[in-house]
Amino acid sequence: MKSIGVFTSGGDAPGMNACVRSVVRNALYLGLDVYGIKYGYNGMIEGDIYKMKSYSVSNIVQRGGTILKSARSKAFLTEEGRKKAYEQLSRRGIEGLIAIGGDGTFTGANIFYEEYGIPIVGAPGTIDNDLYGSDYTIGFDTAVNTALDAIDKIRDTAISHDRVFFVEVMGRHSGYIAVHVGIGGGAELVMVPETSTTMKDVIETLRQGRNSQKTSHLIIVAEGEHQGNAHEVAERVRQELPDLDYRVSALGHIQRGGSPTSFDRILASRLGMAAVEGIIDGKKNVMVGVVDDKIVYTSFKIAISKTKPISEDLMRLSKVLSI
């Protein structure tokens, strides 16, 4: 293999730039040509591709977002779109791909490999930490720290006014962010898609808090919670406790931005190096990850189809510390 391409796709995550940097410099170190593909699969189809040098990734390790940009691509969902993408890669002699993204990115990569056989190794870049085959994904640690900083400030206001705050964090299908910020932020209750929290549980938590002389409460709600988003949960609680003084805060996309933590920079750099080494060693249609601090490779099919459970110890810890 003499030439590879690298792209970022799906939602941006802090640390993607550090991963791109690692891919480019490791590829160059090993004697490969490396091309940057802008705007994900969309740029692959349109030919928005350029040759990268070492200086192309200078001064980006500390930056959030992605210098390669990201975009959704409806065209890549079609056979015609994927054919155009393959032709663009072939025209430049690109023999393999490093895909940095989440489940949607890897679903597309899996189909692309099955149709055209081009070797692809993925690096998990998503704040949700929901991909099976890696203990942590790029951006998760930064997102947790960003959310925790906001929650610490919200706690100050909650205490000052004796209020209940319902705080919504990202996580459509995963409660990893919610559980981590709930424990770190001292929340009274964490509501995540993986568990069956009932409205009765929420009401009982607030009533018990009152009985134990608590004057303020934090309820952390993952956006994919089955009982609804934070606004919906708060409204249903108000119907049961009409005198409740509460506020709702949805942290939203601030969790995706910002300078990556040292943990995310190092994780992204390790995964970028391992992705390049993996593709040179003949690995294809796999995601690189870190499990028990060791590099592992997991097929795309398994990475996107198997559920990554939240640690029962973390859930138990969250419950015990909330009393």
Q: 67 with 212, same domain?
A: no
Summary mean pLDDT of the chain: 96
- Examine the domain organization and report whether 272 and 231 are in the same domain: no
Alpha carbons 301 and 164: distance in angstroms, whole number: 42
pLDDT of residue 308: 94
Q: Number of folded domains in the chain?
A: 2
Residue 111: domain span? 3-139+260-305
Catalytic residues: 128
Q: Identify any residues that bridge with 4 across adjacent strands, giving them in sequence order.
A: 34, 96
Q: Are residues 91 and 237 in the same domain?
A: no
- pLDDT at site 31: 97
pLDDT above 70 coverage of the chain, percent: 100
Read off the pLDDT of each residue in 204-226 and give the average, rounded to a whole number: 92
Which residues have a Cβ under 8 Å from the Cβ of 264 and sit 6 or more positions away? 14, 15, 18, 138, 139, 140, 141, 142
Residue 319 lies in a domain: no
Distance CA 310, CA 13 (A): 20
Residues 256-271 have pLDDT tens digits of 999 999 999 999 999 9
Mean pLDDT of 182-202: 95
Residue 169 shares a structural domain with residue 241? yes
pLDDT tens column, 155-178: 999 999 999 999 999 998 899 999
What proportion of the chain, given as a percentage, has pLDDT over 90? 95
- Whether 279 and 226 share a structural domain: no
CATH code, domain with 127: 3.40.50.450
Please give the model's pTM, rounded to 2 decimal places: 0.96
Give the torsion sign (CA, 97, 98, 101, 103).
positive
Q: Are residues 16 and 88 in the same domain?
A: yes
Shared domain for 151 and 221, answered yes or no, is yes
pLDDT tens sequence across 21-43: 999 999 999 999 999 999 999 99
pLDDT tens-digit readout, 58-90? 999 999 999 999 998 999 999 999 999 999 999
CATH number at residue 232: 3.40.50.460
Amino acid identity of 113?
A: Y
Average pLDDT on 37-54 reads 98
Whether residue 246 sits in one domain with residue 151: yes
Distance, CA of 140 to CA of 255 (rounded, Å): 9
Lowest mean pLDDT among 125-134, 202-211, 282-291: 202-211
Residues 135, 275 within the same domain: yes
Identify the band that residue 323 occupies on the pLDDT scale cut at 50, 70 and 90: confident
